Amino acid sequence: MSTHYFIAIPIESTELVDVQQTILPYYSYRRIYRPEEFHMTIQFLGSVDGDELDEVKEITRRICEETLPFTLEFRAIDHFGRPDRPRVLTIVPDASEPLQRLAHSLRHELVDVIPRLDRKSFVPHVTLAKKWGEGERVPYVPPEFHATESVEELILYEVQPTHTPAYRAVDVFPLRRPEEDIWQSRLKFLT
């Protein structure tokens, strides 16, 4: 079995855990994501060899160095699949130009290096649960919520399907620090 990889934004918002716990009783899923597994996939890589993985890291590092941190806001629950038995339960962010720009730049360059990569449209979401179990969804009124997530890095994950958690961070790519943060760091050393 070959090792698969993906590049994602880690999601650490505790509000999303609360939303997940509130809505799960209305669904029937076999795979519930743990809070430490929450992420927003930017690009699934699948199986890549060592040279390709090195190129992926180089491209990701460069694009992250060109991208300022930004914030995502979440207010909506969504799903993939049939409304009565959705195969994937998600939380989606509000529209975000910085997110779209980052995803487009990264995906565009990665496809040039690894042409066999998945070229499906980028649909930003955080998976809460998947693999429908038995029964049908119980009707409910989705809770109102407003969660935020500061995006300051991308992570290259390795998929480990037989482990818990199922994803292992292989490399971290910080986004470019704003000039004022750099100057404040330098000022600490000068005083």
Which distant-in-sequence residues (6+ apart) come within 8 Å of 117 by Cβ? 43, 44, 45, 46, 107, 110, 111
Cα separation, 2 vs 45, whole angstroms: 12
Query: Which of the residues are catalytic?
Result: 39, 125
Amino acid at position 127, single letter: T
CA gap 160, 171 in Å, rounded: 15
Query: Where do the H-state alpha helices sit in the chain?
Result: 14-23, 50-65, 97-113, 179-190
Judge if the upstream peptide bond of residue 86 is cis by omega within 30 degrees of 0.
no
Helix or strand run (H / E) with residue 174: strand 167-174
**Residue 129 is inside which H or E element, if any?**
strand 126-132
User: Using CA atoms, how far apart are residues 6 and 161, in angstroms rounded to an integer?
Assistant: 13
